[in-house]
Amino acid sequence: MTCCKCQGVETWFNQKFVERELKKYRKKGPGKPTRILLEAIQATAGVKGSSLLDIGSGDGAIQSELFKSGLSHATGVEGSSAYLAAAKKEAERSGYLDEINFIQGDFVEMEKEIPAADIVTLDKVICCYPDMQTLVGLSSERAGKIYGVIYPVDTWWTKLGARILTFHF
């Protein structure tokens, strides 16, 4: 994997963790923060026929949910190979596999190869990346219409982010 700032993610977001997350999503749908982000995007009425760039796409919940609202195409960029495999599995199950371009790696390192999109999302991603400013700067430049971010405050995700950060410096 060519993802130097994302190396810790293979440990944290491993097969076991990811399988649990996918099972939870299939049983209960997206978690609350993701639902808040989805509702905000859907409220703009800008989803139908739009393209999506989902950075740190996890199990692909945002992609799956926005396809139900008429999304035309998606690119999912994800550092964790286990998460990317889960997102492919979920896309196949939901029937959107051919509409999604799956890319594994660090968005910041690969940004020149990543196409812009109408909607750009980062759901609980900024908090676990060591160079938040660059990630936000480069990803926001890719957004044609909507830029949607979830940044959890004082949750175990932010503590995890701090640990990954510590691990890399």
Binding site for ligand SAM (CB under 6 A): 6, 9, 13, 34, 55-58, 77-80, 83, 106-108, 123-125, 128-129, 135, 157
Rg (CA), the chain: 15
**Nearest to ligand SAM of 45, 58 (CB atom):** 58
**Nearest to ligand SAM of 2, 45 (CB atom):** 2
- Residue 121 CB, nearest approach to ligand SAM (Å): 8
**Nearest to ligand SAM of 52, 108 (CB atom):** 108
What separation in angstroms does the CA of 49 have from each of 57, 107, 143?
A: 20, 24, 15
- Residue 9 CB, nearest approach to ligand SAM (Å): 4
**Nearest to ligand SAM of 13, 102 (CB atom):** 13
**Nearest to ligand SAM of 47, 128 (CB atom):** 128
Alpha-carbon span 147 to 119, nearest angstrom: 6
- Residue 13 CB, nearest approach to ligand SAM (Å): 4
- Residue 10 CB, nearest approach to ligand SAM (Å): 8
